[in-house]
Structures are given as C-alpha cells and as structure tokens.
Structure 1
Amino acid sequence: ELLDKPISFLMPALRNLIHKNKPKSEDSFKHIDLIGKMLEIEGLKKGETDFPIEVSITSRRTDEGNFLSFTIRDITERKNAELELKKERDFISAVLDTDGVLVIVLDNFGNLVRANRTWKEVTGYDLTKHKNEKFELLLRSDEEMKQFKIIMDKIYNTGKSGKHEVALTTKEGDSRQILWSYASIYNAKGEIDYIVGTGLDVTDLRKVEQQLRQAQKMDAIGKLAGGIAHDFNNLLTAINGYSDLILESMDTTNEFFEDIKEIRKAGYRAADLTHQLLAFSRRQMLDMKIINLNEVLQNMDKMLRRIIGENINLNYILSEDLFPIKTDISQIDQIILNLAVNARDAMPDGGRLTIETANVRLDKNYSNKHFAMKPGEYVMLAISDTGIGMTKEVEERLFEPFFTTKDVGKGTGLGLSTVYGIVKQFNGFIWVYTEPGEGTTFKIYLPKVEVKTKPADGMDEFQAIHYGSETILLVEDEKFVRDFVAQTLTKNGYTIIKAASAKEAIKIAEEADNTIDMLLTDVIMPDMSGKELEDYLRSTGKHLKTLFMSGYTDQAIVHHGILNENIEFMQKPFSPATLLRKVRKVLDGAQPIPSEKPVHELSFDQQEA
C-alpha cells in the first residue's frame, strides 16, 4: 500500500521540512540539515490517526544513486509518560505555591535549592538570586542563626524537627513570626539528600492573640475598677453630701469652716477619680448626640493651644464632608484633652502635635488583623506627636488604670485608661503606634451613623431648686447614703419614708395605699434591683414616678451606658443641690403610664440565697 508513495504520506509534517531543506544538486545532498538529527513529529496511522513518532534520517549513496533512510519509532508511551510527569510537576508547583504557606528546600549542605512564591512575597528574597547559597546567610540576627542551627541539628540526629516558631527578618528589615515544620528526603543509602521546610506566617495571628489577651485583661481590670468606683461613690455621696449640708448651715467665721471646705474639696477630687474609673470600666452615663467631629475640634482650638503651650506647634488635617458620629460631646472633649496633654508631656522640649480626621472604610481583611473590630465606615481621629515615644513594655500596659511613667505627683495614671473606656463605650476602637524616639500616634475609630448631622444641644439652663411637700419612698441599702438623702429632702419640705431593702419597700407601699408620690431607689440592692422593684410596684397598680440612683450604671437601667427611654437616673455621688433639682424635675414631670404586666409572685428568701 505504501510502495512508491512519498514519505510525506506517512509523515505529513516532513513535507515542509523536506521542501525547505531540498538539495540543489545531488552533490550537496549530504548537506541536508535534517540528516543525522532526531526529530519528534506527528505520524499518520492507517485510518488517518495522528500519533507521536521519533524519526532519524540518514543518507546513503549507492550505485543506483543517493537515498535517504528513515528510522521511525512510536513514542506514544514515552509522550504519555512525559505528559503525566508534567502534570505531576504542575501539581507539585501548585501545591508549593499555595497562598500563605512558605516552602523551602535545602540540600544536605544547607544550601537553598528551591523556594516557592509565598517565600518571596513574605521575605522579599528572590530564589534566582540566592539559589545554592547557604540558607543561614539570609538570617539577619544571632538569635535567628541560633534557632536555625538547633533545628538543623535535631533534623540530622532524628530526621524530624517538630514545629518551631521563630522570628525571621525580611529583606526590608521587618520581623515576621514563622511557624516552621521540617521533613527529610533520603537517598538509597539512607542518607539525607534534602530538607523540606514548610512555614506559616503567624505574625498577624499573634498580634490578634495579643490584642485578645489585652482586651481580656482590660475587661477584668474594668470590672474590678467599676466595682471599686461603685463602693466609693456610695461613700462619697455621704461624705460630700454631709460636707455640703454642714457648710450650708455653718457660719463662715466658724473655726471649722475652712477644714470642712478642705474635706469637701478632697471629696470632689475623689469623685473625679471614681468618674474616671467608671469611664474606663464603661459604666458611666452618656448623653448621646449626633455631632461633627471637625466642629468639636474647631471649638476646642483655643483651649488646646493654651494647654500644650507655645513651644509646641499644633497642626490640623481635617477631612471635608466628615461622617456624622453619635457620641457624648463632653466625653469626646475628654478624649482629645487627655491625648493632647499626654502628647505635651512627651515633648518637654517642644515639638509638633498633629490632629487629623478622615472618613475610612475598613474591610474584612483589616478587621481580621484587629481583634473585635468590625468592617464598616468610621470616622478616624488621629493624634500624633514628635515626642519621646514608648517602649514595647510601656505600650503593653498603656491603658491600665493607675499605670504611669510620669514622676510622682505629675499624673494619676487614669488619663489614657479613661480614653480607652470612653472609646469602647462608643463602640469604637483605639490603636497606638509608637517607637522609642520616634513619637506616638493614637488612632481612634468611631462608627458612622446614618443620619444627617445636627448641632448638639447646649447645656440645660440652670433650674432653680424648689422646695416640695410630696411623699417620697426612699429605698437605699447603704445607711449613710439613705440618711443623707432623707435629711436633705426632709429639710426642704418633703415627707420621706425610708426602706433599707426592696422587701421592706414593698411592704410599706402596700400599707400606704396611694399616699406615696415618688419612688427614689438605688439600682443595685441585695434582694432585688431597683428596676425590678419599680416594675413590681407598677404591676400592683402603684402609679409612682421613679428616680433611680447608683454608683454606676446597671444593665437593668442602662443599655451600653445610654439611658433607656423615660428613665430618670442620678449618678452618685451627687450634691444636695443636684438631688433637690432632680427630685423636683421628676415630680413635675408627666404621670407614668400604668403597667399592664401581671402581678408577680416574689420569693425574697430564694433571691437572697
């Protein structure tokens, strides 16, 4: 079937090659470029099916003339094997280049012979420039070298390394935490030929873990601080209250008048400290309003310049069309003042203080690297100084209450802890960036609100204190607070019925019919909360106006530090004037809506247990 047919009939691909290399004369036939070469081309089987072949061409001279001899071999199996090998290599390359996993291969001399794409992305080192170099030459510190030698010794002795987390300095000088695991590849003699190392960059994970530990620590300290502040506020209510009552009735020429004034002054200073503790523990009362942060900064400019002094330059970088945020404007003032004072103290020889605002949109990638931070739109407030900066040890304790690096008498250690608590109570986040000698930047992120900005209300006008003649049921488990409140109100015309517990208050209310005009109750009591007491009395038909008081805000009354609707609350410690003004306001307010809740059966013995 093939006799007298051209060779191109079996190998169509040769047609062009033969034509291209066709000799001009028989003498030049031996110079055909194809002679002596091994070609891999497609052959044609019977039925016009292509298959891979290997062709070798030689020339022969006979009496009959010059001939070309073709040796043809079917290489289908070899090509299939090569294809499988390529697939395997592609698969291995894909595995090696898995995102997030560093892979390196060292020979038995410790030379770097292979590294994947992630290795280059993380470290900055290009394999093409460092191939067959000693891997240890890429290590930048004595500690990295020490750890590497320990791992290599363990591999050569046991064949395994286990998992090791080590710091690795990148080409740019950054430190990354890498969790390494190594395995050995042996030759036929049982000797180590190669060492394969796989690593995970856990730098961001370790940062998030550190942030979580810090948040847990701050939360625990906050609960302790809140409890202490609550107890102190009860004590200070009596101390400051009785001091005010004594001074009000004492002649200014009395020999003890100035001493009592000093007691009151110390009491109010102590009250300021407990308010800062409440701010840190996120248990203070907030008066939330929608504000524009740029306007707040503009209003504070003169005060800030006066506080930081003339040797510090104050610069603003304020973004236009800033998102509105919902905050307590007095607490925002406190944040800015505390951070400005902190910056001033870090620049004793002068410097530059920069205050910046911006709209930011934080994505999921950013939130994954910052514990508890939710993606979304925020207003960013950045306060930066060119001061002395902080060490890592100081940064880790920065927001702890009473922690300070200032000299004795120059700080309480509550400034930054107060800032931390306020920001958290606003559902915001605060981060600090600092290096010794390089200054410090605080960045605060406050969530955007989806409403138009409206100017914050001004302070309420002073309300005159009125006397009263109403009957008030006073419920307070601390005797000294109960006596102070009762004395203050009685002196101003009110009839006071005192109860040391909710159980006693319920009994009095049931016997008093409808002669009680108002319930004045503490929030936290051993047998029942003040809110539960109010709910119970209203469920029995007592339409009492209610005023709550507490050393800190309780969740029964307050949600995230914001007063629930129609709730009247008074923060301890309070002065006689504040007490009288607040009581009068509640009594002159609208009549409460009767409760439709059914009467509850209460078991005080069970609750007290």
Structure 2
Amino acid sequence: MRPMRSHEPLEPAEAFRRLQQVVDSIPHAAVFAQVIHPDGTMRYEHASEGFERLFGVAPEELLADPTTLDALILPDDLPRARLLTKAATAGQGLIDCELRVRSRTGVVRWVRIRAATGPLPDGSTRVSGIMADESDRKQTEVQREQVDQARRSSEEALVAAQSIAKLGGFRYHVPTRTVVWTDEMHRILGRDLRQEPPSFDELVKGVHPEDRPRFVEALDRCARDGAPYALEYRAVRPDGSVLYISGRGTARQDETGQTVEIFGTVQDITERVVEEQARVKVEERLLQAQKLESLGLLAGGVAHDFNNLLTGVLTEASLALDDLPQNSPAQAPLRTIEASARRMSEMTKQLLTYAGGGPFAAERLDPTRLVSDMVDALRRSVARDVRLMVDMPRQRGLDGAPLSSRGAPCIEADPGQLRQVVMNLVQNASEAIQGRSGDVRIRAWMEESAPISSGSGRQTSRPGGAGSWVLEVADTGCGMDAETRRRVFDPFFTTKGRGRGLGLSTVQGIVRRLWGQVEVESEPDRGTTIRLRVPLVPGMASVPVPRDPPSRAPIQRLRILVVDDEEAVRITLSRVLGRRGHTVAMAADGEEAVEVFRNARGDFDLVLLDISMPRKNGYEALEALRGVRPTVRVVMMSGYSEAHLTSAGIKGSQETPYDGFLEKPFAVESIDRVLGEALRTRR
C-alpha cells in the first residue's frame, strides 16, 4: 500500500495550527518548546493549552514569564529540575524524567517530561517535548509497592512467628510422593537449607523408630480417607538428638474425592514436654513428701501407743524372769515374749527412721570394724542353707598408705542405725534366696569418688568429703524385674508374703541422712547386688567408752511420783520401783500430778513424767512442778524417741530442763540406769 500524500503542501503557519489542534486535544499532556541561553536564562517559544489544564497556568502567562512553572515544582524535586536544565545545556540528546508539580488549584501531579534537545547557532539550546500527567500510573505503582511491602512484612512476620513458635510446615504431594519443606522445618529437624529437597522417605526417617508406625498410619489415613490428623511424636535430628513434635495435617482433594496433597505442620514442643516432665517429677516428689509426712504422723502415733503397751509386756516379762529359778520351764516362753516385744519395738523404730523421726546420735566411727563386729550376729540371722561370705581385705587409704599408719577412715553415723542398715540388707538377701541353697556376700572398701549425687542430678554429698566408704551386699537369689526395682524402696512394698515392706525403705532413709546413696543391680533369676556409698569425713573414729553395767542396788530409798495416762505403765513402774525399795505415788495425768505434788508439799525425790497426756502434758506439768519445788528431779518418758520429739518441735522450755529421758518400751535395767543418771545430774 502506498502512503497517503497531501496534494498541496501546507503553509508553515497552517501546519503549526493543525499540530496545535492535535496537541491541545490530548487531555493530560502539554507540549512546549523553550530556548535555554548560555547565561542560563530561558524563554518559551511555545506552550500548549495543556498547561492550563494541568497546572492552571495559561500559555500566555508562561510565555511572558518562563519562571512561573518553576514556582509550582515541589521543593524536594527542584534539584532534579535544575539537573534537567544542566543536562539539556550539556547537549544530552534525549531527556526523560519525572517531577511533582502542585497546580494552582492545590492538586499535586506526577509529571513525566520527555524532550529532545538541539543546539542553536548562537550557542543556545532548544528543548522541545511533552509533559504528561502520570499521576494515575504513579499511584498504581505506589499502591503496588505498598501491597508488595505489606506482603513482604507479612511474610517476615510469619517467618518470625514460625521461628518464635518453632512451627514448620510441609506439603506432601501424594501421587508423586514428593515433599516440600519450609525453612523453619529444616531448622527444627536440623537439616541444612542448602541440601537437596527432602524426599518422603527422609520425612518418615526423621521420626523416632518407636513413633514411626503411628506417624505413617496417620499420613496413610489422611491420604486414604481425607481425615485430618493431630499427634505428638519424637523426631531424631541427624546429630542424634531427640526432640518432641506436635504434628497436624489436613488433606486437599480433587473433584473426584482423591487426596492430592497433604498440608502438615510440625511444632517443636521439646521445652514444653521437658517442663511438663519436670513438673510431674516435682509433683511426684511433693506427693512422696506428703506420704512421708503422713507416714511420720502414723509412725509417731503407732510408736507412742504401741510402745506404751510394750512397756508393760517387756518390763513384766523381765520381772517374771527375775522371780523364776533358772531351771524353771517358764523361762523359755518368757524369754520368747521378751524377745518378741523387743522385735516389735524395733519395728516401730524402723517406721520412725524411714519417716525421718528416729533417733540419730551421730559419731565418728570405723564402719568396716563395725561390720566385722557384726559377723557372728549376721550369720545367725540368715537361713540355714545360706552361706554368708565376708570379704573385707586389709584396706589402704586413698594415697595408698596402709591405714594402720594413719588410723582407720571414718564416717559420721549413728552406730545403731548403721547396724540396722547392715542387718536389713543381709536379711533381705537371705530371704531372696527363698529357702534354697545360696550365697550372700558382704564386701566393704574405700574409694576415691566424685560428689555423690541423687538420681535427679542434685549433689547430695557432704561438703569437703575425702572419698567414700562402700558396702556391697550381693545374693544369688531370685532377682528383680524392672518394675520391682522401681518400687523396691517404697514403704510397705514387699514381694514376700510375710514381709512388712520396711527393710529397704529404712535403709534408704538412713543412708540419705548420712549424705549417701543406694544403688541396686538386679535381674530376674540372676541375683541382686545392693551397694551403699557413704562419704568419709576427716578425723579419727571415736573410741567406744565401756559403760559400767547398771547396778540394781538403789543408791538410797527414794520417794517417787509416777505420772502416766496408761494404767499398765503406772502399775508396772510401781512394781519395779517398789522392788527396789522406793516409795511410789501415782497420777493419771499432768493435772492430777501437780495436785498430788502440791498436796505433798513437793516431798518427792524424783518424778517419772510421761509427755503425752490429757488435761496437762508433761512439759506443762514440769513447769508447774518446778514452780512448787525448783530442785525436784524429773525424768521425762515417752513412746516417742527424744530425737523424734525434738525434730517435731515437741520440746520443753530451756528454762525448765529435765534430768533424764526414758524411751518406751524400756527394760528393768534401763530404769535403773536412767534413775542413777538423774540422781547424779544435780545436787
């Protein structure tokens, strides 16, 4: 096709008029032509009507004053306008820039200037171009940028929230079995972001082997039925560390109802689970402490009431034995009664010891020598078919030097309670053999050790320890399974039909008071080994001071007031003291005791005063008696041990001390000894 041509050439004026009409018809644009002189001044050669539409400036006004438009450019954009002028005079051929101009009506417009420059013979520069209103486009760009910025901010906030919540996600494409992970999921599972995209098998492999079947079943059910899942499981990182995960997932199905994708989340809940486990342990310890407290109250009540009753049994048996000739047939049953009463008393002491209220008279002692001195008694305590072997070789100190050159190492313990520990362990080992032939082996040694710690990791060793004394009792008996080992120290737990379940719990209670620990190794049908570790203390073991046997001959004939709310105790004590030639008066409670004492004008040499009584307890009665006669000697009596009373906060005033303490049940020789000591305490 041939281009259209005008048949007649147009005059320049007509051509410019027609071009002006075309330019003026553009609604959001203005055409201009200006000349910039070498001195920087300029003038407009032409300005279209668009200037008035865009800026409210008439073309004539702009032709008359070329600086009119400069005054409308926003101050922030003026430097750019000056650079534009400089670029034009420098001979830059094409100019393309954007400026903000405020019209005289107050509307701010984004104006895009596109112009061509050319030199003039006099050195000036002509700039011809068009100014177009780009406000709508710029507004769209600004809005798009704001949307993009909001999206980026939202994504950053989401990433931060996922990081804070330790929440990752994945998308599992079921048909292809491909998986896409979020960055946070990589971090949670310890996977390098630079690695290749994980596979479905890698996703499953990261689950702990014990929890893997549940996880796969949940995914299969979600893929098969479209059922969402929620479960907690453990995951294993590449470095072998284990973390706890809360996983959730939901399915996306196509129009046929087939599952196409599964969207899942994984949240690291390790901190929560660890805190929950710690809380459960604290609650268990609190529950155990409450059980111990309840047991202590029970033990104290049992000890008091039981020991009151046993006092009559034990003392009357002793008196009866004294009355009978040595060849009397009643001697044997009476000694059986006496022995049984003592064993029942030991049972109450075990209850008190486990509950932390038993007497505790600590002293420095050589534990190996103590065990060696018990061997004969231990052999008598095991069953007939059980062989007791004792292996305590000559010891050396931690530095290898013979102990004889420095004295024996020692621990700080109550010798009676340590004997109870050894006896309980040996008897328990003997009973575990269950009537068959077998061996019980006792070993003891000293070792250099780190601070002894409990199972919770809390240090329990005595500060400044110099190693540990170790006692090991092993048997070839039936052994224990894991559940029995877990409960072996629980009070009243026993696997023996006639057992009381207090032997090992008492051992643990005593060893803990010695800042030690108990270890148990056992397997069914492979025997049991129980090992104690007790920290050594600096210094030498105490040398036992032999005590003179108590004399039953009274120092003098005394007038004694016996005060107890148990009639059996009053009568028994009255008989014992009467046989010693003493004159005895009796009272059933503290109030009656004060009345009897006051009526007698305090004419008593000694008062045997029970502590737990109605109306007025022993300590209250003690103060009242001392108020009548300050110098009267008083021996306190109780079914509780003196240490138990002190630990429970049950004690008298320091201003009114007593002269002796008689723990029930007591034998005749104990009465003689305590009375003799009380009479020697004060003059």
TM-score by length of 2: 0.57
In structure 2, the residue matched to 1:275 is: 349
In structure 2, the residue matched to 1:40 is: none
AA aligned to 2:337 is I
Indicate how the Cα distance of structure 1 residues 497 and 513 shifts in structure 2: closer, same or farther if over 3 A, else same.
same
Report if aligned partners of 2:245, 2:266 keep a CA contact under 8 Å in 1.
Answer: no
In structure 1, the residue matched to 2:544 is: 457
Residue among 202, 216, 219 paired with 1:133: 202
**Are residue 418 (structure 1) and residue 486 (structure 2) matched?**
no
Distance 1:513 1:419 in 2: 50
In structure 1, the residue matched to 2:472 is: 383
SS in 1 for 2:269: strand
Distance 1:582 1:469 in 2: 16
Distance 2:324 2:362 in 1: 40
Report if aligned partners of 1:207, 1:369 keep a CA contact under 8 Å in 2.
Answer: no
In structure 2, the residue matched to 1:584 is: 676
Indicate how the Cα distance of structure 1 residues 398 and 576 shifts in structure 2: closer, same or farther if over 3 A, else same.
same
Per-residue CA deviation, residues 372-406 of structure 1 (Å, 9 max, x unaligned), is 96895665746364755422432344234554324
Report the aligned-residue RMSD: 5.3
Indicate how the Cα distance of structure 1 residues 282 and 437 shifts in structure 2: closer, same or farther if over 3 A, else same.
same
Indicate how the Cα distance of structure 1 residues 554 and 312 shifts in structure 2: closer, same or farther if over 3 A, else same.
closer
Indicate how the Cα distance of structure 1 residues 310 and 491 shifts in structure 2: closer, same or farther if over 3 A, else same.
closer
Indicate how the Cα distance of structure 1 residues 243 and 303 shifts in structure 2: closer, same or farther if over 3 A, else same.
closer
Residue among 483, 500, 505 paired with 2:593: 505
Distance 2:603 2:648 in 1: 35
In structure 2, the residue matched to 1:595 is: none
**Are residue 572 (structure 1) and residue 637 (structure 2) matched?**
no
Report if aligned partners of 1:205, 1:369 keep a CA contact under 8 Å in 2.
Answer: no
**Are residue 194 (structure 1) and residue 264 (structure 2) matched?**
yes
Alignment of 1:261-340 (within 5 A): 261-293=335-367, 296=370, 314=391, 320=398, 325-340=411-426
In structure 1, the residue matched to 2:135 is: none
Indicate how the Cα distance of structure 1 residues 289 and 584 shifts in structure 2: closer, same or farther if over 3 A, else same.
same
Indicate how the Cα distance of structure 1 residues 139 and 328 shifts in structure 2: closer, same or farther if over 3 A, else same.
same
Query: What's the CA shift for 1:274?
Result: 3.1
In structure 1, the residue matched to 2:577 is: 489
Indicate how the Cα distance of structure 1 residues 505 and 421 shifts in structure 2: closer, same or farther if over 3 A, else same.
farther
Distance 1:296 1:254 in 2: 37
Indicate how the Cα distance of structure 1 residues 514 and 255 shifts in structure 2: closer, same or farther if over 3 A, else same.
same
Distance 2:156 2:379 in 1: 69
Distance 1:222 1:359 in 2: 33
SS in 2 for 1:361: coil
AA aligned to 2:669 is A
Query: What's the CA shift for 1:247?
Result: 2.5
Indicate how the Cα distance of structure 1 residues 311 and 424 shifts in structure 2: closer, same or farther if over 3 A, else same.
closer
In structure 1, the residue matched to 2:553 is: 466
Unaligned runs of 5+ in 2: 1-148, 255-259, 400-407
AA aligned to 1:509 is F
In structure 2, the residue matched to 1:596 is: none
AA aligned to 1:537 is L
Indicate how the Cα distance of structure 1 residues 154 and 474 shifts in structure 2: closer, same or farther if over 3 A, else same.
farther
Indicate how the Cα distance of structure 1 residues 193 and 332 shifts in structure 2: closer, same or farther if over 3 A, else same.
same
Q: Which moved more, 1:285-294 or 1:579-588?
A: 285-294
Per-residue CA deviation, residues 327-386 of structure 1 (Å, 9 max, x unaligned), is 2112112212322443455466448665455544257xx67556x968956657463647
Report if aligned partners of 1:315, 1:355 keep a CA contact under 8 Å in 2.
Answer: yes
AA aligned to 2:204 is F
Alignment of 1:87-102 (within 5 A): none
In structure 1, the residue matched to 2:640 is: 552
Indicate how the Cα distance of structure 1 residues 127 and 153 shifts in structure 2: closer, same or farther if over 3 A, else same.
farther
Per-residue CA deviation, residues 175-226 of structure 1 (Å, 9 max, x unaligned), is x9x7653456999x99753311323253565555444444433443343233
SS in 2 for 1:525: coil
Query: What's the CA shift for 1:240?
Result: 1.7
Indicate how the Cα distance of structure 1 residues 514 and 181 shifts in structure 2: closer, same or farther if over 3 A, else same.
same
Alignment of 1:13-412 (within 5 A): 107-108=171-172, 132-135=201-204, 138-141=207-210, 145-146=213-214, 149=217, 161=230, 180-182=245-247, 192-200=262-270, 201-202=273-274, 206-207=280-281, 209-252=283-326, 256-293=330-367, 296=370, 314=391, 320=398, 325-346=411-432, 349-350=438-439, 355=444, 358-361=448-451, 368-369=456-457, 379=468, 381=470, 383=472, 385=474, 387=476, 388-406=478-496, 408=498, 412=500
Per-residue CA deviation, residues 237-294 of structure 1 (Å, 9 max, x unaligned), is 1012112212222345656554444433433333333333333333333332123545
Per-residue CA deviation, residues 452-484 of structure 1 (Å, 9 max, x unaligned), is 344243452323223131222211110001110
Report if aligned partners of 1:208, 1:369 keep a CA contact under 8 Å in 2.
Answer: no
Distance 1:305 1:257 in 2: 25
Query: What's the CA shift for 1:298?
Result: 6.0
SS in 1 for 2:484: helix
Distance 1:167 1:360 in 2: 34
Report if aligned partners of 2:602, 2:629 keep a CA contact under 8 Å in 1.
Answer: no
Indicate how the Cα distance of structure 1 residues 412 and 130 shifts in structure 2: closer, same or farther if over 3 A, else same.
farther
Per-residue CA deviation, residues 434-456 of structure 1 (Å, 9 max, x unaligned), is 5546655546565776x634424
Select the structure of larger CA radius of gyration: 2
Distance 1:235 1:443 in 2: 37
AA aligned to 1:395 is R
Greater relative contact order (Cα 8 A, min sep 6): structure 1 or 2? Answer: 1
AA aligned to 2:418 is I
Q: Which moved more, 1:272-281 or 1:428-437?
A: 428-437
Distance 1:107 1:345 in 2: 62
Distance 1:395 1:246 in 2: 46
Report if aligned partners of 2:611, 2:619 keep a CA contact under 8 Å in 1.
Answer: yes
Query: What's the CA shift for 1:555?
Result: 6.8
Indicate how the Cα distance of structure 1 residues 86 and 160 shifts in structure 2: closer, same or farther if over 3 A, else same.
closer
Query: What's the CA shift for 1:428?
Result: 5.6
TM-score by length of 1: 0.63
AA aligned to 1:533 is A
Identity level (%): 25
Indicate how the Cα distance of structure 1 residues 443 and 353 shifts in structure 2: closer, same or farther if over 3 A, else same.
closer
Query: What's the CA shift for 1:525?
Result: 1.7
